[in-house]
């Protein structure tokens, strides 16, 4: 009955059914102040508009010289140079240095034309009367950042799709970008279904549980760079779910219907998706996350997520996170690490299994966090997850595993 | 002249001079909606107010039974049970199951009192006339999450100081926390000094450079969970710097004075800190980042950061990030990974050296990003950094290194 696919097949279905270039919400951009661009995705290549720095800069405090004037100099036979002045910080050097002369320059100051090296103070001696002794030969280019060492005008310094870090904001600033074009955040609608669900602020009666998925998924979506839109808790009623779904499809780029733990409700969600659009899959051969549905309604992806929070979270991390990145044209690079398993794990479910782990950085050990399916408290301390392949019956203690950080 | 310390000594000085319990801004808390708590630091332990779930929940669709009624059953000799009803989702089971009877229950539904197992549909047969055959013995407890399996009332589920992730928001929701007590964000003042600096939006003339550090440090502070406060660009003038510093000390928990690349300006900043408070260090034996100053003014930390953006960034990451975490009482756990060096690195500076790297996840290789000191464009692609110890003359290609992710 279930049209169960492997996680790899699911990724292919998603990429084939929702190619970025066809998604209604793809690649929309907006301009924001660079100060508010942290974590946003670049909407176009950032090109150097000028050479950076715009002049030859000293990297030390010392004397700008012609390197050739210093050749053969030593402590005992210093090269004698005439002091021709001092470069003021923030001002043009305003002179052309000629052989036999030197000028005082500070770190970050302009090295005058003609000069091709800076000698630091400790290798010089001031004899008074504007005579400076250089006690060590300087190589041409030493202690200078040349006017286009950092970037040359026209260089692509940051590529479209990059998620901006604090140092990227530094790069934008160096290039004179006080504003930057970033991708608009895709809008993801979240619908929670289930007669047993009550809002977080309510006290559940017997048989009821609080709606964990809505706040958790909204937070995860925000973390992935999307804007979550809350469609509330919907009862197990076909027309109510249909109406919420159509409203979410109308105003969002992607829709997450969570809940429907029972087989009947899963079928109802699948039927609604099928009648309003196309059902693409019904079941993923993974643990947790098997009862996942995916369909296409109005050219937009509609996910039916498991009701169990841990399963819903894992499916969102594995499939919806990359889809959101695709809509933005974002290049995401997961942080991962190699670690040794702290204990043996058995797995013989015929399904790819995703196991949450804590990581001990000191010993590079991955500690599996176990617990009955559906418990959420076990997630409190996790750092990431490991994946046990479908055909693997388990891993012995001490196995080398890849931890994918969350 | 410089009172140079090793990075380890600097960390000790910071911990000794600014213990969280003495910092004026430490441990201040505020209450926020759980929906806005992502990335915030918990201000108190989160305690389970109830058992979760509050009732015994089925993890499958099937029949709730007394396990003892099913013992000895098989396909050929099923145990015959009388169907006593169906548990509605979100409602109390409302009955006590007795031997010889069973009830229909859906995933997530309440298992009635008396029942101690749930048998999934595929191991049962419906003979009509309310007679159900159970074809496989069930162990007591099977397919049930018991009423306090997830958390028991009074359990500490999340500890004060934890930075909240999306799944933590899920945990808070499961426990009924729609609001949560988090640490107030420490306020960090950023002052950029230097006659050569112009705002990012200005076109620098010869000898001038754009102020990279202010926007970059404000973004980094935000990323670390602090609130950055911009005190603008201050000229190389003792009274102007003094006045900006005192104003920042007055209204912030921590002050970052960046710039002062030249020795003269560094000394000026050190003198101002010394005259208004206590100078704790002048120079760190690390590369980049040597010309770093730290003082205490009005019981608050005042950093004099190098003018070079890469150096300022690295010092902020290594020393100011943990200090901000301390002020909040936050437990930070850095993400790190083991990788092989893609090429040999030489290092003979007698200083701990921090080298930015890109990481190739597929091959677990760390690729050093090199470039002259002070260039920022090289940071465009980095994922983290490695540390070469002080007494190490370099590392051969293929060495195993620890990458600290940024």
Identify the band that residue B15 occupies on the pLDDT scale cut at 50, 70 and 90: very high
Q: Tell me if the bond preceding B53 is cis, omega within 30° of 0.
A: yes
| Cβ–Cβ contact B194 with A under 8 A | yes
Task: Report the C-alpha gap between B344 and B368 in whole angstroms.
Answer: 9
Shortest distance between the Cα of B15 and any Cα of chain A, in A, equals: 21
| Cβ–Cβ contact B232 with A under 8 A | no
What distances in angstroms separate CA A145 from CA A2, A85, A115, one per listed residue? 64, 21, 13
Q: For a pLDDT cut of 90, what percent of chain B falls above it?
A: 82
Say which of A107, A170, A201 has its CB closest to residue B262. Answer: A107
Interface contact B106-A173, CB threshold 8 A: no
Identify the band that residue B25 occupies on the pLDDT scale cut at 50, 70 and 90: confident
Residues 297-326 of B with CB under 8 A from A: 307, 309, 313
Read off the pLDDT of residues A23-33 as tens digits, 9 standing for 90 and up.
777 889 999 99
Look at the block and give the residue holding tokens 């190589």. A139
Residues 111-150 of A with CB under 8 A from B: 145, 149-150
| Cβ–Cβ contact A399 with B under 8 A | no
| Cβ–Cβ contact B207 with A under 8 A | yes
- For residue A2, pLDDT over 60 is answered with no
Q: Which of B51, B108, B291, B315 to mutate to test the interface with A (most CBs of A within 10 A)?
A: B108
Token digits of residue B264: 């003269």
- For residue A254, pLDDT over 50 is answered with yes
Would you give the distance in Å from CA B224 to the centre of its chain?
Answer: 8
Look at the block and give the residue holding tokens 């260089």. A155
Tell me what pLDDT residue B355 has.
92
- In sequence order, the 6+-apart residues with CB closer than 8 A to the CB of A384 are A336, A337, A356, A357, A359, A403, A404, A405, A406
Tell me what pLDDT residue A373 has.
60
Read off the pLDDT of residues B264-294 as tens digits, 9 standing for 90 and up.
777 899 999 999 999 999 999 999 999 999 9
The residue among B108, B123, B106 whose CA lies nearest residue B61 is B106
Interface contact B207-A106, CB threshold 8 A: no
Question: What is the phi/psi pair of residue A222, to 5°?
Answer: -60, -45
Task: Report the C-alpha gap between B322 and B330 in whole angstroms.
Answer: 9
Tell me what pLDDT residue A1 has.
46
Would you give the distance in Å from CA B390 to the centre of its chain?
Answer: 29
How many residues are given for chain B?
406
- For residue B72, pLDDT over 90 is answered with yes
Say which of B145, B151, B338 has its CB closest to residue A372. Answer: B145
Average pLDDT over residues A99-107: 96
Tell me what pLDDT residue B116 has.
97
Task: Report the C-alpha gap between A208 and A202 in whole angstroms.
Answer: 10
Read off the pLDDT of residues A334-373 as tens digits, 9 standing for 90 and up.
888 889 999 999 886 789 999 999 999 888 899 998 766 6
Read off the pLDDT of residues A276-290 as tens digits, 9 standing for 90 and up.
999 999 999 999 999
Angle subtended at Cα B166 by Cα B163 and Cα B172, rounded to the nearest 5 degrees: 80
Say which of A55, A108, A196 has its CB closest to residue B108. Answer: A196
Say which of B93, B171, B372 has its CB closest to residue A379. Answer: B171
Interface contact B171-A335, CB threshold 8 A: no
Identify the band that residue A82 occupies on the pLDDT scale cut at 50, 70 and 90: very high
Task: Report the C-alpha gap between B337 and B231 in whole angstroms.
Answer: 37
Identify the band that residue A80 occupies on the pLDDT scale cut at 50, 70 and 90: very high
Judged on CB neighbours under 10 Å (0-12, 13-18, 19+), A47 is middle
- For residue A161, pLDDT over 90 is answered with yes
Angle subtended at Cα B120 by Cα B114 and Cα B126, rounded to the nearest 5 degrees: 90
The residue among B186, B228, B163, B160 whose CA lies nearest residue B24 is B186
Average pLDDT over residues B386-396: 91
Say which of A176, A210, A373 has its CB closest to residue B200. Answer: A176
Q: Find chain A residues with C-beta within 8 A of B307's C-beta.
A: 107-108
Task: Report the C-alpha gap between A230 and A218 in whole angstroms.
Answer: 8
Average pLDDT over residues B285-309: 94
Identify the band that residue B166 occupies on the pLDDT scale cut at 50, 70 and 90: very high
- For residue B126, pLDDT over 90 is answered with yes
Identify the band that residue A260 occupies on the pLDDT scale cut at 50, 70 and 90: low
Average pLDDT over residues A58-87: 96
Read off the pLDDT of residues B201-236 as tens digits, 9 standing for 90 and up.
999 999 999 999 999 999 999 999 999 999 999 999
- For residue B261, pLDDT over 80 is answered with no
Q: Determine what percent of chain B falls in helix, strand and coil, rounding each to the nearest 5.
A: 25, 35, 45
- For residue A374, pLDDT over 70 is answered with no
Residues 32-71 of A with CB under 8 A from B: 34-35, 38, 50, 52-55, 57, 59, 61
Q: Which of B159, B376, B383 to mutate to test the interface with A (most CBs of A within 10 A)?
A: B376
- For residue B10, pLDDT over 80 is answered with yes
Read off the pLDDT of residues B320-361 as tens digits, 9 standing for 90 and up.
999 999 999 998 878 888 899 999 998 867 899 999 999 998
What distances in angstroms separate CA B7 from CA A137, B254, B270, B318, B352, one per listed residue? 33, 19, 19, 9, 8
- How many other CB atoms sit within 10 Å of the CB of residue B239? 8
Least confident of A360-374, B248-262, B300-314: A360-374
Average pLDDT over residues B126-150: 95
Interface contact B206-A54, CB threshold 8 A: yes
Average pLDDT over residues A294-299: 96
Task: Report the C-alpha gap between B225 and B187 in whole angstroms.
Answer: 10
- Calculate the average pLDDT of chain B: 93
């Amino acid at each position: 009955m279930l049209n169960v696919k492997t996680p790899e097949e699911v990724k292919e279905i998603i990429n084939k059914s929702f190619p970025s270039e066809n998604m209604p919400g793809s690649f929309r951009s907006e301009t924001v102040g660079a100060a508010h661009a942290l974590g946003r995705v670049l909407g176009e290549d950032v090109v150097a508009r000028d050479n950076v720095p715009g002049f030859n800069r000293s990297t030390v405090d010392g004397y700008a010289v012609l390197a050739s004037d210093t050749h053969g100099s030593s402590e005992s036979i210093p090269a004698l140079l005439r002091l021709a002045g001092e470069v003021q910080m923030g001002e043009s050097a305003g002179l052309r240095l000629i052989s036999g002369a030197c000028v005082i320059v500070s770190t970050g100051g302009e090295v005058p034309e003609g000069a091709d090296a800076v000698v630091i103070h400790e290798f010089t001696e001031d004899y008074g009367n504007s005579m400076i002794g250089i006690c060590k030969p300087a190589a041409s280019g030493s202690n200078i950042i040349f006017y286009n060492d950092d970037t040359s005008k026209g260089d692509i310094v940051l590529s479209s799709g990059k998620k901006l870090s604090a140092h990227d904001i530094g790069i934008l600033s160096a290039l004179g970008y006080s504003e930057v074009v970033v991708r608009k955040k895709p809008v993801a609608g979240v619908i929670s279904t289930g007669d047993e669900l009550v809002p977080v602020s309510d006290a559940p009666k017997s048989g009821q549980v609080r709606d964990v998925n809505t706040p958790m998924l909204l937070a995860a979506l925000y973390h992935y760079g999307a804007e979550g839109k809350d469609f509330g808790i919907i009862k197990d009623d076909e027309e109510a779910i249909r109406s919420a779904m159509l409203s979410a499809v109308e105003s969002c780029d992607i829709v997450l219907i969570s809940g429907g733990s029972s087989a009947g409700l899963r079928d109802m969600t699948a039927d609604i998706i099928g009648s309003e659009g196309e059902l693409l899959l019904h079941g993923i051969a993974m643990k947790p996350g098997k009862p996942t549905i995916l369909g296409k309604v109005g050219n937009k992806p509609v996910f039916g997520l498991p009701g169990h929070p841990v399963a819903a979270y894992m499916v969102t991390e594995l499939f919806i996170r990359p889809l959101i990145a695709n809509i933005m044209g974002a290049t995401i690079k997961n942080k991962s690490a190699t670690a040794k398993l702290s204990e043996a794990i058995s797995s013989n479910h015929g399904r790819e299994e995703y196991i949450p782990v804590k990581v001990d950085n000191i010993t590079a050990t991955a500690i599996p966090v176990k617990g009955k399916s559906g418990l959420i408290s076990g997630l409190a301390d996790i750092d990431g997850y490991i994946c046990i392949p479908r055909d693997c019956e388990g891993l012995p203690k001490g196995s080398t595993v890849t931890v994918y950080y969350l």
